[in-house]
Amino acid sequence: MKNDFFTGLTATDLSHTISPAMPYFPGTEAPVFFKPFTLASHGFAEQRITMLTHSGTHMDAPAHLLEAGPTLEQLGLPHFVGAAAVLDVSCVAGHIITKDDLLRFRRLLNGKNFALLHTAWSKHWGHKRYFSNYPVLSQEAAQWLSSFGFKGVGVDTISFDVHDSSTLPIHHIFLNKNIVLIENMANLQNIPAAEFLFCCLPLKIAEADGAPVRAIALCDSRKKK
């Protein structure tokens, strides 16, 4: 029987490829790939991958920073799927995204489960510049966004806080409300619709403070931006 579920839908991949060469947060460990079994020697191929839970395009759970915060598996599947919108803040001057920069998106955000911030910083993925002076929300802007009751907020940078922050105030603002954070997103500029279905499923890891995700946008290709 033919499955017509995806008829009329356009899928956009919003995740970076996981590889040994991918960027990782300064001060943490690089992912390690090893091939203990190969087709030539064993008749089948299998890899061993060692990496931190916050590697690549990944999701932060409240348990990442909060002692009593839920882990990803405690949040449940519905927390990772829903209506979303991209906020194009790529033209914001400087490195601080203010509440005033976001107010024009108020109507677009109503009724959404996810807000994805397109800063255009992902163009520096794989380069040293990616790790510092990337755009971040002001605390006022984060508080305003958190008032919409989102399931999650995403960004195409390595972190929601400045790279040398020891207190991570922006993380706390969202995670205190059980709003998951998706970092290191890709291709936000390629989503062909202003509103779409967002699917961001983390690996099912026990007691997960975070996990790599395969994030995608599903858009009705008949609708235009």
Fold of the domain built from segment(s) 9-220: Glucose Oxidase; domain 1 (3.50.30)
Residue 39: phi and psi, rounded to 5, are -60, -40
pLDDT band at 61 (very low <50, low <70, confident <90, very high): very high
Mean pLDDT confidence for 44-57: 95
Q: What is the mean pLDDT of residues 90-117?
A: 95
- Cα angle value 154/184/105 (rounded, 5°): 30
Q: What percent of the chain has pLDDT over 90?
A: 86
Residue 220 has pLDDT above 90, yes or no: no
- What is the pLDDT, as a whole number, of residue 9? 84
pLDDT-derived band at 5, boundaries 50, 70, 90: low
Query: How high is the pLDDT of residue 17?
Result: 96
Question: Which pLDDT tens digit goes with each residue over 142-155?
Answer: 999 999 999 999 99
Q: What's the pLDDT at 222?
A: 60
CB contact at 8 A, 215 and 180? no
* Average pLDDT for the chain: 93
User: What integer pLDDT is reported at residue 49 of this predicted model?
Assistant: 93
Confidence of residue 77 (pLDDT cuts 50, 70, 90): very high
pLDDT tops 80 at residue 203: yes
Q: Give residue 194's pLDDT.
A: 82
Pick from 173, 176, 146, 150: nearest CA to 85: 150
Which residue type does 25 have? F
Q: Which residues are catalytic?
A: 64
Residue 3, pLDDT above cutoff 80: no
d(CA 47, CA 76): 29
pLDDT > 50? residue 38 = yes
CA atoms within 13 A on the CB side of 64: 24
Q: Which amino acid is at 144?
A: W
127: Cβ contacts below 8 Å, ≥ 6 apart: none
* Strand, helix or coil for residue 198: strand
Q: What is the model's pLDDT at position 2?
A: 46
Where do the structural domains in the chain lie, given as residue ranges?
A: 9-220
How confident is the model over 116-132, as a mean pLDDT? 95
Considering Cα of 33, then 125, then 97, then 28, what sign does the dihedral take? positive
**149 against 194, higher pLDDT:** 149
What gap in Å lies between CA 53 and CA 50, rounded to an integer?
10
Is residue 1 very low, low, confident or very high in pLDDT (cuts 50, 70, 90)?
Answer: very low
Distance CA 71, CA 203 (A): 12
Whether pLDDT at 206 is above 50 = yes
- Please, where are the H alpha helices in the chain? 39-42, 72-75, 99-102, 106-109, 139-146, 169-175
Residue 223 has pLDDT above 70, yes or no: no
Q: Both tokens of residue 152?
A: 């999650």
